Each structure stands twice: as structure tokens, then as C-alpha cells.
Amino acid sequence: MSASGTAAAGQVEHMLRQVTPGRLDSYEQLLQALADGRIWMLLWHGTAGSPDAQYGNMEVDGLGYAPCVTSAQELSASGWNRAHELITGRDIARALFPDRWGIWLNPHAPDGGVGIPWLDLRRIATGLDRMPAGPLRLSEPAIEIPQFYALLSHNAHRTPAVRALRRAWVQPALGAPYLAIGLDLYDTGRPSVDAVRAMMQQSIGVVPDGLPVSTVSMSDEYDPVAMWLRANSRPFYDREAHAQAGPPPTAAPGYGYPPSQLH
């Protein structure tokens, strides 16, 4: 391994030691270290790069994880006597999250190690600064902004690409809460996306100052906000139904994350 690779791996181990219950800031720093660092994935079958290579697997709180270690020293301490694969955190994140697999760092350690659920691997793969830190708390928005919803619904009706709109109040584990608008589109081609972006720009001006608003595609099967909206909400604008929806049930805190992640 290069000197930079060794340093990055050392940073992963350093941040792993800082993670304790309730310290979501240190967990977030661990994710940042993983994005740039390398880990040793444990192979249950095959060898690194071979067609039959298969990662180990374990299940915790109903979610699947592939075990790995954070250094050659930890590999030796684990007693693993099969093959392994040295890979960057970002590359393994891209490989595993589409199948909803996370990774578990140093499961042999006395404290049991630390699990990184697939939703956080998705954040590593696509950019930690682009997505809110979980676990997320999601609910029906309590803030009353009827003028915004009316104007947005009016503009949506004039935007043929829009099938329906949903809404959620999102409270990230770190950072400010915000209003999320779920966009259900007939197609996601560039003309449709541009038209919807213009629709939002035409509507956002009536939002009260200081209220952050974000959008999420309802076609994104991996986004936790879109997952919650599909399971727990009805549209406030529906081109086909022309009906307003009542308030949906509130989801349990941490939707999309294992209970052990909540502190």
C-alpha cells in the first residue's frame, strides 16, 4: 500500500476509536474517513478479483452487512484465514449499497465493532455533503404555509411532467430540519427536469425566510425520504385524482436505519 493509502487507513482506525453512543458528529467523521480510506473486505469464497469472489455476510437488526477490518494488524487479530480484498471505502460503498448491504468494521473487536448501514454507504458513494445525515426523523409538516402549497400546486398543474407532489418534514441527525417536496414525474428526461426546476423556482418565493426547502425524486428507490413518502403519505397535489390528502401517520424515528443507530 502507498504511504497515502496507509495514512488514510490509519485515519479510519483513528475515527473508529472516537465513535461512541450519542456522538453522531464522530460517526460522521468516520464516514468521511471511510470515503477516502481503504478497508480489508473478508472473502468467504474465492480470491480478490476472481469471478467467484464472495464477501462474507452477517445480519444485525434485520439488515445485511459484509464484515471487514481496518488494517493488516486487525486482519491478523481477527484470525481470518481465508482471502481478503483491499478496496477503497468509496468503491465498496458503490458496490454494496444498490443491493442494500452495509459493512461492519472489525466485528471481532471486544466492543463488537461498528456497522455502517447501506443508507450511509449510499451517502459515501454519492457524496456526504449532498445528502442529510441519518438517522432521519420524518413526519407530516406541521408548519402552515398554505400560500406556498397553493402556488406550487397551481404551477404543477401547468407543468405536464408532474404527476403528483408529496411533502415531509425532515430532521437530520446533524444539521437544520427542512421541508422536502417529493416529485412524482411522468418521465425524468432533461426537458421534464428543467420544467420542474423552473416550477420550483417560480414557487419558492412565497416560502417564509429561513425555511429550507429541498426536493426528492419519488422514483429514487434508495432515498430514505422518498421511501418514507411512498409508505406514509398521500399527495397534496395529484393530477389524476384531483384530491387533497389528510395527514398521514408519523413514522418511527430513524426510518430506514437500524434501531441500534439511535442514541
CATH number, domain with residue 163: 3.30.300
Amino acid identity at 55 = Y
Last residue of a domain, one of 97, 130, 163: 130
Dig out the grid coordinates for 15 from the structure: 475515527
Last residue of a domain, one of 109, 130, 151: 130
Give the containing element (helix H, strand E) for 43. strand 38-45
**Half-sphere exposure in the Cβ direction for 249 (13 Å, CA):** 6
**Half-sphere exposure in the Cβ direction for 66 (13 Å, CA):** 25
Last residue of a domain, one of 103, 130, 157: 130
Please name which of 101, 116, 136, 131 lies closest in space to residue 31, comparing C-alpha atoms. 116
Please give the average pLDDT of every successive group of 10 residues along the chain, which has 263 residues.
52 84 84 93 89 91 94 93 93 96 94 93 92 90 94 96 97 93 94 96 94 95 95 94 50 53 44
CB distance 175 to 133 below 8 Å: yes
Let me know whether 22 and 72 are in one domain: yes
C-alpha dist (Å) from residue 130 to 75, 133, 213, 248: 33, 10, 14, 27
Residue 14 falls within a domain, yes or no?
yes
Let me know whether 122 and 45 are in one domain: yes
Let me know whether 167 and 121 are in one domain: no
Cis link prior to 212 (omega < 30° from 0)? no
CB distance 65 to 102 below 8 Å: yes
pLDDT at site 149:
96
pLDDT at site 228:
96
Dig out the grid coordinates for 38 from the structure: 481503504
Q: How many domains does the chain have?
A: 2
CB distance 88 to 125 below 8 Å: no
Let me know whether 120 and 149 are in one domain: no
pLDDT at site 199:
97
The domain of 148 spans 137-255
Let me know whether 41 and 118 are in one domain: yes
pLDDT at site 173:
87
pLDDT at site 9:
54
Let me know whether 123 and 170 are in one domain: no
pLDDT at site 251:
44
Let me know whether 175 and 190 are in one domain: yes
**Half-sphere exposure in the Cβ direction for 203 (13 Å, CA):** 25
